[in-house]
Structure 1
Amino acid sequence: MNIKSTLLGLALIGVPATFAFAHHSYSDFDMSKMVEISGIVAEVQYRNPHVWVFVDVDDQGQPQSWAVEAGGPNILMRQGWKANTLKAGDKVDIQLAPMKDETKRGGALQAMRFPDGKVIGAWK
């Protein structure tokens, strides 16, 4: 066996490990439930590996901050979402799969609706 074949074989062995390392799980979320929240965007972190949206929700006069995890920017761009689509101060309605730990306010984004009626994701 020559050196090129050996190096190619070693490189191919490392490929699955790279994909396993890059995998991100939704195991913290209860994907069998759907929760709807409405509020004002406090912050958007539009970066890899996942976009995060922090929303202030009014709960009987008390603001509560919700952390909403979305897909990666590449996935969201295919759904029509750009880096400037959502910004602090925007009012949104969000459907999400909530955290399994019910003491935490947050979830995995399923769909988002803007005041103009535009929807990103599959609103149910």
Structure 2
Amino acid sequence: MPSTLPEARLLEMVFPDHTNHLGTLFGGQALAWMDKAAFIVASRHARRTVVTARSEEVSFRVPVREGQLVELVARIVGTGRSSMQVEVEMTAEDPLSGDRRVCTTGRFVMIALDSNGTPTMVPALPALPAAG
């Protein structure tokens, strides 16, 4: 069943300049892509300028190798007055075999800003349909 939470999906290709001496994705590059996905979903939800306030609970589960594709799925899972909690899951895929594995997960807090750079209200999440 598709999620009713606001989400954004991005695809990236892991090229040699994204990797370390072992041929695996730099952790900082993974975080940058995850932050980008969080930024996009939060911007679309708030329809405001947003900034990253915090990244937390980032787990690097399996290495991502040069030549793999990564799919990032960012979902807003909670809102405050001006904040949005975004969970991001990064899945690595071997483009030849189709083998897919969740490689990295994390949570980001994004803040919406008004035209003066002051935190401003964000819409609440849509109500989930009642289980029936």
Higher-Rg structure is: 1
TM exceeds 0.5? no
TM-score by length of 1: 0.32
Higher relative contact order (CA 8 A, sep 6+): 2
Higher strand share: 2
TM-score by length of 2: 0.31
